[in-house]
A and B are shown apart, each in its own frame.
Chain A
């Protein structure tokens, strides 16, 4: 663990120039790792705790702000985020983006092919119309881009839980424009089987 902390700290030169001291940042990283895994690969706690390794810095910062402002509902993460300065959020984002842990483990392998198909070409939902490919925003390899999160290597059951409960957790401030709104109609239109397939595919990606 020490190796990871010091190794990580060496790479966060951007963070050091910000208004965050190195010991403070290292202590906070260690704290994140308690639940998110020693290499931020994610962890199966009582809840599935998401992978942060390789996540886009923008998405980490955006998520922490959303937790702190309670536009994203999660009591545990609200308390985590409420004490973080914007500079600390940015420094954590930079740190976790640089990690490259192996995925924690894939979901059901028999669903991967169906999930890949949905991810790359989209689906026709029951109500008509068409859901575009996931890759058009999340990238061909689900690597994410700025506010659009990386999904590659994310925990299978975490993705299932988010897509299933999207409207209860995200975009909870009606008057505030929130990038998570983009996903709301998509998550609501996907069937349980489609959600499971996409999750299995994403969890299998390095």
Chain B
């Protein structure tokens, strides 16, 4: 509970900072309220998860060499996972907070680790996530990435279904007349991603819209610049359509 308390303090502070594009259609409520609801809902599952992780970590510890690589206790890992879940949902499914919090469940391990490093190195600009990531050791980043990869909750869904068919066409075929390539070429036909290319299936609609709208502003990574011409060739409605499509995918 110690970590959760400290998070809530921090959440209130950063909530006052101007950050990213805000969405009038985002559900009302402060981050503080959102997190409190989440804590109550998550507690049962979290306990089960902590036990499961403890078993895994102890089993690994018997291996000897692996113990050194871990460099943190099972308690620390469980606490850190619980801390992520406060905002990203008890199963990493994402959460419609004041900002849309992205789904982490099923994310590619390499992408997950690289994004955490990007927050630390300033390749990705986010005043909430940078301090979060700075507190993590490389081994902890790997452990968290592996952990959230294993979750498979249903997508939060529920957004702009009427646009999903248009989004599917853009995702699978591209818009060659506008020089927009098919998203599927890199993200895969089911939007599962691969290695350093992110999974998009089941991602929050609002998070997708925000990310595609602010891409160049928020992401300075050399791997992300491949997306600049893509997002700049899409119009607002096309962005919403792609977001509606991927957010509906399981």
Contact = CB atoms under 8 A, between A and B. Distances in A.
If over half of A's interface residues share one DSSP class (helix, strand or loop), that class is named, otherwise mixed; here it is: helix
A120 B184 CA distance: 37
A75 B181 contact: no
A33 B192 CA distance: 22
A45 B182 CA distance: 11
Given A30-B229, A31-B229, A35-B186, A44 B173 contact: no
Contacts of A46: 184-189, 192-194, 197
B174 A45 contact: no
A189 B182 CA distance: 33
B13 interface: no
B226 interface: yes
Contacts of A162: none
B127 to A, nearest CB: 28
Interface residues of B, number: 24
Given A30-B229, A46-B194, A79 B173 contact: yes
Interface residues of A, number: 19
Given A45-B197, A79-B174, A28 B184 contact: no
A64 to B, nearest CB: 12
A80 B178 CA distance: 10
Interface in B131-185: 172-174, 176-177, 179-182, 184-185
A190 interface: no
Contacts of A80: 174, 176, 181
B128 interface: no
A47 B182 CA distance: 12
B186 A76 contact: no
Contacts of A49: 185-186
Contacts, number: 57
B195 interface: yes
Given A35-B185, A46-B184, A83 B177 contact: yes
A148 to B, nearest CB: 26
B185 A31 contact: no
B179 A76 contact: no
Given A44-B195, A45-B197, A46-B197, A35 B181 contact: yes
Contacts of B121: none
Contact of B185 (A1, A28, A76): A76
A82 B176 contact: yes
A4 interface: no
A14 interface: no
A177 interface: no
B173 A75 contact: yes
B192 to A, nearest CB: 8
Contacts of A83: 176-177
B57 interface: no
A63 to B, nearest CB: 15
A28 B180 CA distance: 10
B33 interface: no
Interface of A: 1, 27-28, 30-31, 34-35, 43-47, 49, 75-76, 79-80, 82-83
Given A45-B185, A83-B177, 8 more contacts: A1-B225, A30-B179, A31-B181, A35-B181, A35-B185, A35-B186, A76-B174, A79-B182
